[in-house]
Amino acid sequence: MQLAATSPVVRKHGEHPIDEQQIDPRALKILRQLDEAGFEAYLVGGCIRDLLLGKQPKDFDIATNARPEQIASIFRNCRLIGRRFRLAHIHFGRYIIEVATFRAPPEREARTDSYGSVLEDNHYGTLEDDVVRRDFTINALYYDSKNDEIRDYVGALDDINRRIIRIIGDPVARYTEDPVRMLRAARFSAKLNMPLEADTEAAIVACRDNLRAVPAARLFDEVQKLFMSGYGQTCFDVLQQHGLFEALFPDAEKTIHYPHAAYAQYAKNMMRIALANTDERIAADKPVTIAFLLAAILWPVYQLQYRGLLKERDNWHSAMHEAIDLVHIAASERVAIPVRLRGMIREIWALQARLEQAARGNIRKMHSVLAHPRFRAAYDFLLVRQGAGEDLADLVELWTALQQDPDTAADVEQYCAEQSEDEESAAAPRKRRSRNSNRRKKRD
């Protein structure tokens, strides 16, 4: 890692576009209280980047030379969290402002795992030390609210003007310290519509296998950030571009490159359509769940698993649930899907079979499916399957009509019953009259 920065570029009042009115007043209050207590404190990271890009920040993070315990002594609404990075969370109801102490390189050799990832990093330092510990230049800007000035130690302002994402320090070393930085690079590239700087991009090829060392629970958190922030479809494309999607969902990646070209395209369509729908719902401020996305990402894997098991046994129901279990177990080796979400995915997939079975004309089953708490998710999933290339027009039309008028179920049941009777009568052999019966009639 490079040495601590010492000569910042300073943009004073009037030389930058940030207006104090754009900053959350709760963040300004924290900055003021830390200053009054005798500490340095700055707004830092993505909030400054977003303000310079003309975007409204979602979060306002603060960096200070106050230690976590000192921060907690100043703010009664403070909670300390984390082991690897000790952080202070200051609560305002449900809203949280994160306050981090300036970090420095360890004085002794850092404790790492077998892949070289840092396991513990509570080493405190100065603002100059803190700058080079941050991941990307665009996230290493500091705003001094007291003097209304921006401090740039790493060329962040130039990178923002050039619209590129550059990692601070040697890319291979930084990715090795924390492989999740590769996923963050992809996310920022998608979110900000900025390409990665050449060396920042090239190092991903050499380091992406290190993601195997990252705890599966942490990768699940990163998957949520990637796909549930309103630009999930773009994130998917960027992950594919840099070979990172495979590190998260190796089995799903295999379906995208399946030998049968039509199925490979179908698998990719499933994922991109579901991601696009989620992005649209987030933009419209509608409720979303990661379970639906995971169901779409893993559905092609499940279909192959289910078909394979069905060849070995007659009971489709047991094959279905065994296939679901196998897919969940394999996926959770990389991304730890919580039990609650696994249950939701199971229901969405199992309901696909019930949607088809009930459509055969059983009115009781139709109303039972309509009343299921996951029916709407299952119906939306059916639409994704149709959009991805499955021939489901009749099934979609039926369940669309049933939602508009549940009484339609009675007409469907009667129609199916009549069709069944016609088929049975057409298939039944005609009974031949015996000659003896005709003779008896004549005698009578």
pLDDT single digits (tens) 369-424: 999 999 999 999 999 999 999 999 999 999 999 888 766 655 555 545 555 555 45
Nearest to 272 by CA among 230, 232, 225: 232
Q: What are phi and psi of 197, to 5 degrees?
A: -60, 150
121 a catalytic residue: no
The answer to the question of residue 254 being in a domain is no
Q: Is 59 a catalytic site residue?
A: yes
**In this model, does residue 76 exceed pLDDT 70?**
yes
Name the pLDDT band for 121 (thresholds 50, 70, 90).
Answer: low
Q: CATH number for the domain including 300? A: 1.10.3090.10
Catalytic annotation, pick one of 50, 121, 130, 135: 135
Q: Determine, yes or no, domain membership for 317.
A: yes
Q: Work out how many domains the chain is built from and give that number.
A: 2
At 157, which CATH number?
3.30.460.10
In a domain, 342, yes or no: yes
Q: What is the pLDDT of residue 421?
A: 53
List 50, 61, 130, 159, catalytic entry? 61
Residue 60: phi and psi, rounded to 5, are -125, 110
pTM score = 0.84
Under a CB-based contact definition with an 8 Å cutoff, are residues 160 and 11 in contact?
no
Is residue 403 situated within a structural domain? yes
In a domain, 150, yes or no: yes
Active-site residue, selected from the candidate residues 35, 59, 129, 148: 59
Helix (H, G, I), strand (E, B) or coil at 289: coil
Domain assignment present for residue 216? The answer is no
The boundaries of the domain holding residue 90 are: 8-106+123-162
Mean pLDDT across the stretch 82-92? 88
> Looking at the domain assignment, is residue 189 inside a domain?
no
Amino acid at 383: L
> Could you read off the pLDDT of 268-290 as tens digits, one per residue?
999 999 999 999 999 999 999 99
* Number of Cβ within a 10 Å radius of residue 54: 7
Residue with tokens 């991601």: 275
> Do residues 157 and 164 touch, judged by C-beta distance below 8 A?
no
Domain boundary among 162, 193, 210: 162
| CA distances for 378 relative to 233, 262, 273, angstroms | 21, 24, 15
Task: Tell me if 322 is assigned to some domain.
Answer: yes
221 is catalytic: no
